[in-house]
Structure 1
Amino acid sequence: MSLPDVPELLSDAVTALGGAPREGQLAMAEAVGEAIANNHHLAVQAGTGTGKSLAYLVPSLRHAVDSGETVVVSTATIALQRQLTERDLPRLASALTKPLKSEPTFAILKGRANYLCLNKLHAGVADDDPNTELFDAFDLSRMGREVTRLREWSSDTETGDRDDLSPGVSDQSWRQVSVSSRECIGAATCPYGEDCFAELARKKAGDSDIIVTNHAMLAIDAMSPATILPEHRVVVIDEAHELVDRITSVTTEEVSAANVSQVSRRLGKLIDDDTASALVTAGEQLELLLDDSAEGEWIRLPSGAPEILASLRDRLWNARNAVGPAPSAAADPEAAAARQMALSATDSLHDTVVRILTMFEQRDIPKRHDVVWLSEDRLRNTTRRVLRIAPLSVAGLLRTSLFTDSTVILTSATLTIGGNFDALARTWGLPAHGGDKKDVEAAGWRGMDAGSPFDYPKSAILYVGKHLRPPGRDGIADSTLDEMVDLMTAAGGRTLGLFSSMRAAKEATEKLRERVGFPILCQGDDATSALVEKFTADEATCLFGTLSLWQGVDVPGPSLRLVMIDRIPFPRPDDPLLSARQREVDANGGNGFLTVSANHAALLLAQGAGRLLRSTSDRGVVAVLDSRLATARYGGYLLASLPPFWRTTDPKAVRSALSRLTTGAAQS
């Protein structure tokens, strides 16, 4: 069966969906089709408005239908998963059914913990959250009501997918009715195996042309000896700029006294009193150790730590071996579920302690593959000390488990740092070569910029406050606050303020509310989605916040004319993982600051600047109130990562431009 080529299918899809041809979209679609056909990896930077989802879905669907192979599409956010499965794919499948001579199929697949577990629900096995003792009477009452609603919902839902539950429930309540993959007793032995929502989702996914999943599932599939995702040869990674952080998060483990206490309670009556008591004692020793130790990275184990961690490791192993044989799940589902949950928690904690001890056996610090640090987590009105371990790099994992076995398409609006793809390619485990097409055969991948429909120099101004003093640690300078007032006033409100910390966002909100006549919303005042809705609805309203707003806001139209950035978003100097990565680059003769800190800042700065233009009719200003962008040696490197806005350091010129936009909006 001969199918139409990619350009013809894309044209059919665009026509059927009522769109217009886009040069960048066609170029990207052809490049994706070529990469799949020639079995090489592809990194595509596709700016807002390019139509990148359609550009990778059309060649992916063509390949799936033509070859009979499943294509995996991985995203970083639930919002994009929903957009793909609820809007893009249903419409695209309908549009391409005739030219493909077959109706394309698709499914969404998430981790097991996202689905209702019927066995846990009916067995009544409570989840023992390590933070349970922090709950008050209101929390427990709310949890009881929510679990009751979940029981009722279990009879009505066809998917058991948490995201299909509206309104949602708290994480604590959801954990009462869900299990992780390690906690699952297995479909073959589970009395509800035939009706299991997670298994039904996997079966549907296995029969589909396109599977939509997330980066976390991709990581779990890469690391697990078991088959998590159905067999596939092509993977499309959207929001690829977040891939490394998401996979690092999945591979980060933690040890705390609360974890040990949770394991002890889960083991409950499964082990004898002496074994249980020994484990409790090990947890108390760990708590004393962590309370007496300094926060931050552990280059060496503190005094007493090797003995305490080794004792915890051994007592966890003894407790695990003391658990009796598994009861029949059919005869006693509650006991089977409780046993599996206890074993899962014990194994996980034991393996993490072993991983920490093993890392410190390597005396040569530059040869270590993990980073260990102690942090203090704030929970309500208390704090808790947690020892964490994370991989120094995930490049090796990605190179051997993802790029070796699959053809991978990586795409995002921001993939080039300093003008090319090399910085991100290295973090993915791909050889750096600038992404040039001529080097594809040798390196196994190419990069391309699909461009953008925006006329950046005519649509937006990049203003750098060169005259301002560099930001320090003593809060926002008065001169910077004055600059914010002038810019916001010229813009008539309509400002998205992106700050490097929540403390700075709150400080600016508090001080500027007294000085401007516009409403200022601050992240944390309400749910972020609700704040964005209010910001969009009232043109004069301003919205201030931190990290999630740098990447998660899509507000086209006159409600957003000014994106105001308080400082270059370098990582915190006390971030243990990034500091260790920077140190490793320096030790190998590289520039750790540029490779880690500057790349981190460049990527986030590009994401923040990308909030301004969301449609071709948008106009406005990105104002960076950090003079270092204009004066520091690394400024040019960061600027090369931003769109080609018209640039100025003249405050009068930028205020005048904003005033003209405001006057024009008022007259229209």
Structure 2
Amino acid sequence: MSGAAPRIVLPEGPAVVASFGRAAVLWPEGEIETLPLEAAQARLRASSPPLVCHAPATARRLGLAALAAADVLELWAFVRPAEPVVPTPRGLAETLGLAPPRTLEDAAASLPAIATMLLRLAAAARAAPANRDAPALAALMGAAGWPWAAPLLAALGAPDATGGTSALRVWEALPEWEETARPPPPSSFPVLPAEARARLAALLGEAAEDRPGQSDFASAATEAFAPRDTPGVPRVVLAEAGTGTGKTAAYIAPASLWAERNGAPVWLSTYTRNLQRQIDAECARLWPDEAERRRHVAIRKGRENYLCLLNFEEAVASAGRGAAAMIALGLMARWVRATRHGDLQGGDLPGWIPELLGPSQTLALSDRRGECIHSACAHWRRCFIERGIRAARHATLVVANHALVMVQAAWGAPDAGGLPLRYVFDEGHHLFDAADSVFAAALSGSETAELRRWLRGNEGGRGRARGLRRRAEDLVADHPELARALEAALEAARALPAPGWLARLAEPPRPELAGLAPGEDNPAEAFLRLVRRQVLARRTRDDQGGVIEAEVLPMVEGLPDAARRLERALGRIAAPLERLREGLAARLDDEAESLDSGERQRIESLCRSLARRALDPLAAWRGMLNAVSAGTAEAGRPGERFVDWFEIVQRGGHEADVGMRRHWVDPTVPFVRVVAEPAHGVLITSATLRDTGAETEEGRWQAAEEATGALHLLAPPLRVAVPSPFDYARATRAFVVTDVRRDDPDQVAAAYRSLFLASGGGALGLFTAIARLREVHRRIAPALEAAGIDLLAQHVDAMDTATLVEVFRAEEDACLLGTDALRDGVDVPGRALRLIVFDRLPWPRPTILHRARRARFGGATPSAIDDRIARARLRQAFGRLIRSETDRGCFVLLDSRAPSRILSVLPEGVTVRRVGLAEAVAEVRAFLSAG
């Protein structure tokens, strides 16, 4: 590092913070002005690039398509990589220990102070090993026009530094993992209730508040860690833990004890990335030292969540493609050096980074297309994914998600080194939905085109797609029969949709555009073309959520023949791929003495990939096509396992996909078979596991068992319900507004505006449709901003959901609009969330699939399942409101049609009052003001 004295200098432009309708500008001379947007735009055009916080959001609020600026968030990403921060002036100031701004003018004045503090931190840490290449990297980014380069080089004491792309080769500094022996088989010693209570007390510490329900939960959970007595009959506990119970710590206590005692990890599974992060943070109570926690806690997600070092290297190799790409790669290089897991989504990459740098420079660096070449990759021993897989084998607790757990179990958990014996499923009410997604099959244009791309690589001349030939050619080079099988499969894959397939479906067949000879028609495109025709011909109503559906039977003319032809074409792909897989597997035996470990692992990985990515989907698709050609497609009738249908998916008013879908009527059947029954113990928990609106206690638990698959177990589960410790009658008020027409956008928007103003912010607006959310946002944003209330919105702001929630949580008087992702699993304690407004009762969509499930689970009253789903969603939404003993809040439903049988699901003591909007506004204002 250069020995020059560090200096603190800032970019020359003004500091700007924009709101809807106005902007505060701190000019370099020290003058602060608050200007209307048009005046601010004119003045800024004539100035140097401004100093801002979150340039994309600032540009939107200024009414500009883009804004060249010095963004303090980019400076943060360079100086404090892999460290979270709320991407607002207030969030930055509080994290850095500065006085948080209270007004728009304060926010503008805070930006130079924030930048100065960050540059001082850079100067103080310039001798740290992680900053060895920082000057060269900053210089490289400066050559691409990055405005923070000169200030950083001055702070680092290297004002004359130069940089080349070698500064981006950060993978060379990453440590390599080492292979270790697989652990011995685990023991089966139990965890006693008293031991779980003692571990919980130690985990929480002496200063923790007394929560009897939390200790009761930990005690009951030990049943899931008792020895299994009968094969295929796990110890299962269904445990509902009311909000505020502290269930995460309560199940970590017995889980960690069992893992330590028996020498095997317990897998803690969630539905959302956000809760994975919360569980990891909760584990810090047990292992406060970061290095120790890394040994005990492993985070597992699908491969598509992690940065691929080979993709990053290839991006660096083409770094000359533009200044923006160079700057993005520089900031990503800083993160790669600092990250704990290499997790791009929900990990330590700030959620606002993809919006600032662009998804193609961030999220697209993962292995989203299954192109991993495993041990043939030069980065294999540094790979974040491989490191995580090995860490999970020796961890105490593995924090995963429902989808990964089910996929691993379905495949015999080759990555995990064997199936886990003990699971905890948090957010257990989502097991049904997770299983529905994992165990379904989609024979669609996008899925089949993706298989063609996976097999044949990129055929359009652009992109980094690596086809099967590139991944396998050296493994088959000395085996002519395998090479022939590979070539036969790649040639047969021409029957799958060719690039540009979607645009061709609405046109007569044009063989030359699909790479075929004159007179030929692509079998997949021919089938999809007829599917599309049938869906459009049978359309009877507006599409539901962007999807147009049609039943398979009866079929339009030619569709059975097209299905038969496509099935045969898929068979011609599957047969050589199966020969290739069997031949490669045979090499493991035939050449056992000569294969090195790297080549052996590559062959094993390729065999798994062939099955996962090609052979299994092909088998599922052929089964579906046989049902179409034979006229035996299922509709979920009594005795049928599946529901088949055709659909067109629309996005932004345009067709995005066409195809056929097959779902289990009850997806918990395969979940129990592949996940629960092989396990020794399973704890399934949630704050909303039961249907508390059911008439009897047995009816409440029946809903829980249907949603989790427990009704399919050979032995009944232990049922546990721990009530919430909160006094909802004192802390909450609930209203149904009776005089707002829910189908009138003006009236709905006026209701949101009035209620948000009455609460002074701190409001969460929930919607059952994205279009209505956007319409309300457009109408109310100016009025809220004029009142000094920031309005955030999912599907409007480009930030990911977790970042939006972080901003909402930090900005105490902000408001947030969202859909179902915010209805469930969001934890915002305190005054930051004091009002929830729901636009209408969240009934399930009337789809073909739901119709079959109504018949299966509704009993004598099929609509009972609709009530159950609506009650569960309403209960989840209400559960966002009170997160601590001191919280107070109001819940408002803008749906006068909401029946009382659904509203009965709210906590005991909560009385729902039906009032007009004016009275609801007055009541909200009075109740929250009194609090």
**Fold shared per TM-score above 0.5:** yes
Structure 1 position 220, deviation (Å) = 0.9
C-alpha separation between the residues in 1 aligned to 2:613 and 2:265? 34
190-199 or 417-426, which deviates more: 190-199
Note the alpha carbon deviations across 1:469-498, whole angstroms, 9 max, x for none: 774xx44473x5555455444323432211
Greater radius of gyration (CA) = 2
Structure 1 position 47, deviation (Å) = 2.6
Q: Indicate the SS of the match to 2:387.
A: helix
Q: Structure 1 residue 25 and structure 2 residue 214: aligned?
A: yes
C-alpha separation between the residues in 2 aligned to 1:375 and 1:609? 34
Quick one: which of 638, 657, 669 aligns to 1:385? 657
C-alpha separation between the residues in 2 aligned to 1:552 and 1:33? 25
Note the alpha carbon deviations across 1:411-442, whole angstroms, 9 max, x for none: 1121121252321311322239xxxxxxx9x9
The equivalent residue for 1:612 is 881
The equivalent residue for 2:794 is 523
Q: 1:482 to 1:151 in 2, by over 3 A?
A: closer
Q: 1:598 to 1:470 in 2, by over 3 A?
A: farther
Quick one: which of 406, 423, 446 aligns to 1:219? 406
Q: Structure 1 residue 307 and structure 2 residue 561: aligned?
A: yes
Mapping 1:227-626, distance limit 5 Å: 227-229=414-416, 230-268=418-456, 271=487, 275=492, 277-279=494-496, 281-294=522-535, 295-300=548-553, 302-303=555-556, 304-322=558-576, 345-357=613-625, 362=632, 365=635, 366=637, 367-378=639-650, 382-387=654-659, 388-406=661-679, 407-417=681-691, 418-419=693-694, 420-431=700-711, 443-465=715-737, 467-468=738-739, 471=742, 474-476=743-745, 478=747, 483-513=751-781, 518=787, 519=789, 520-526=791-797, 527=799, 528-573=801-846, 575-585=847-857, 589-595=859-865, 597-626=866-895
C-alpha separation between the residues in 2 aligned to 1:409 and 1:276? 44
User: How many equivalent pairs are there?
Assistant: 623
C-alpha separation between the residues in 2 aligned to 1:176 and 1:541? 33
Q: 1:314 to 1:209 in 2, by over 3 A?
A: same
Q: Structure 1 residue 648 and structure 2 residue 913: aligned?
A: yes
Is the contact between residue 644 and residue 662 of structure 2 (CA under 8 Å) also seen in structure 1? yes
Structure 1 position 369, deviation (Å) = 1.9
Note the alpha carbon deviations across 1:113-170, whole angstroms, 9 max, x for none: 334556777799x9xxxxxxxxxxx999978986898789778767444334454573
Structure 1 position 64, deviation (Å) = 1.9
TM-score of the superposed pair, with normalisation by structure 2: 0.59
C-alpha separation between the residues in 2 aligned to 1:449 and 1:393? 25
* One-letter identity of the residue aligned with 2:411: S
Structure 1 position 29, deviation (Å) = 0.8
* One-letter identity of the residue aligned with 2:219: E
Q: Indicate the SS of the match to 2:830.
A: coil
Q: Structure 1 residue 93 and structure 2 residue 366: aligned?
A: no
* One-letter identity of the residue aligned with 1:603: A
Q: Which runs of 5+ in 1 are unaligned?
A: 96-101, 127-137, 433-439
Q: Indicate the SS of the match to 1:232.
A: coil
The equivalent residue for 1:659 is 925
Structure 1 position 620, deviation (Å) = 1.9
Q: Structure 1 residue 66 and structure 2 residue 261: aligned?
A: yes
C-alpha separation between the residues in 1 aligned to 2:780 and 2:881? 21
Structure 1 position 536, deviation (Å) = 4.0
Mapping 1:148-167, distance limit 5 Å: 159-162=341-344, 163-165=347-349, 167=353
* One-letter identity of the residue aligned with 2:257: R
C-alpha separation between the residues in 1 aligned to 2:779 and 2:443? 40
C-alpha separation between the residues in 2 aligned to 1:541 and 1:426? 39
Q: 1:364 to 1:106 in 2, by over 3 A?
A: closer
Note the alpha carbon deviations across 1:376-427, whole angstroms, 9 max, x for none: 3345684223323222211212332333233211111211212523213113
Q: 1:337 to 1:208 in 2, by over 3 A?
A: closer
Note the alpha carbon deviations across 1:525-551, whole angstroms, 9 max, x for none: 312445444544555443222222212
Q: 1:359 to 1:215 in 2, by over 3 A?
A: farther
Is the contact between residue 585 and residue 591 of structure 1 (CA under 8 Å) also seen in structure 2? no
Note the alpha carbon deviations across 1:584-618, whole angstroms, 9 max, x for none: 346xx4322212x2222111111111121122111
Q: Indicate the SS of the match to 1:558.
A: helix
C-alpha separation between the residues in 2 aligned to 1:93 and 1:337? 34
C-alpha separation between the residues in 2 aligned to 1:648 and 1:88? 38
Is the contact between residue 770 and residue 795 of structure 2 (CA under 8 Å) also seen in structure 1? no
C-alpha separation between the residues in 1 aligned to 2:527 and 2:324? 33
Q: 1:571 to 1:38 in 2, by over 3 A?
A: same
C-alpha separation between the residues in 1 aligned to 2:491 and 2:226? 62
Q: Indicate the SS of the match to 1:371.
A: strand
C-alpha separation between the residues in 2 aligned to 1:408 and 1:550? 26
Q: 1:191 to 1:655 in 2, by over 3 A?
A: closer
Q: 1:453 to 1:186 in 2, by over 3 A?
A: same
Mapping 1:128-207, distance limit 5 Å: 159-162=341-344, 163-165=347-349, 167=353, 170=359, 174=363, 177-178=366-367, 196-207=383-394
The equivalent residue for 1:36 is 225
Q: Structure 1 residue 209 and structure 2 residue 396: aligned?
A: yes
Q: Which runs of 5+ in 2 are unaligned?
A: 1-188, 229-234, 457-468, 470-485, 497-513, 515-521, 536-547, 588-594, 695-699
Quick one: which of 38, 46, 52 aligns to 2:241? 46
394-403 or 371-380, which deviates more: 371-380
Q: Indicate the SS of the match to 2:824.
A: helix
Is the contact between residue 183 and residue 341 of structure 1 (CA under 8 Å) also seen in structure 2? no
* One-letter identity of the residue aligned with 1:302: M
* One-letter identity of the residue aligned with 2:285: R
Q: Structure 1 residue 5 and structure 2 residue 195: aligned?
A: yes
Structure 1 position 445, deviation (Å) = 1.2
Q: 1:112 to 1:276 in 2, by over 3 A?
A: closer
Q: Indicate the SS of the match to 2:269.
A: strand
C-alpha separation between the residues in 1 aligned to 2:381 and 2:554? 49
C-alpha separation between the residues in 1 aligned to 2:911 and 2:433? 32
Structure 1 position 23, deviation (Å) = 1.3
* One-letter identity of the residue aligned with 2:682: V
The equivalent residue for 2:67 is none
The equivalent residue for 2:148 is none
C-alpha separation between the residues in 2 aligned to 1:350 and 1:258? 14
Is the contact between residue 263 and residue 342 of structure 1 (CA under 8 Å) also seen in structure 2? no
C-alpha separation between the residues in 2 aligned to 1:226 and 1:336? 13
Structure 1 position 244, deviation (Å) = 1.3
The equivalent residue for 1:436 is none
Structure 1 position 26, deviation (Å) = 0.9
* One-letter identity of the residue aligned with 1:415: L
* One-letter identity of the residue aligned with 2:397: I
Structure 1 position 31, deviation (Å) = 0.8
Is the contact between residue 425 and residue 431 of structure 1 (CA under 8 Å) also seen in structure 2? yes
Structure 1 position 261, deviation (Å) = 3.8
Identity of aligned residues (%): 27
- CA-atom RMSD in angstroms: 4.2
Is the contact between residue 398 and residue 429 of structure 1 (CA under 8 Å) also seen in structure 2? yes
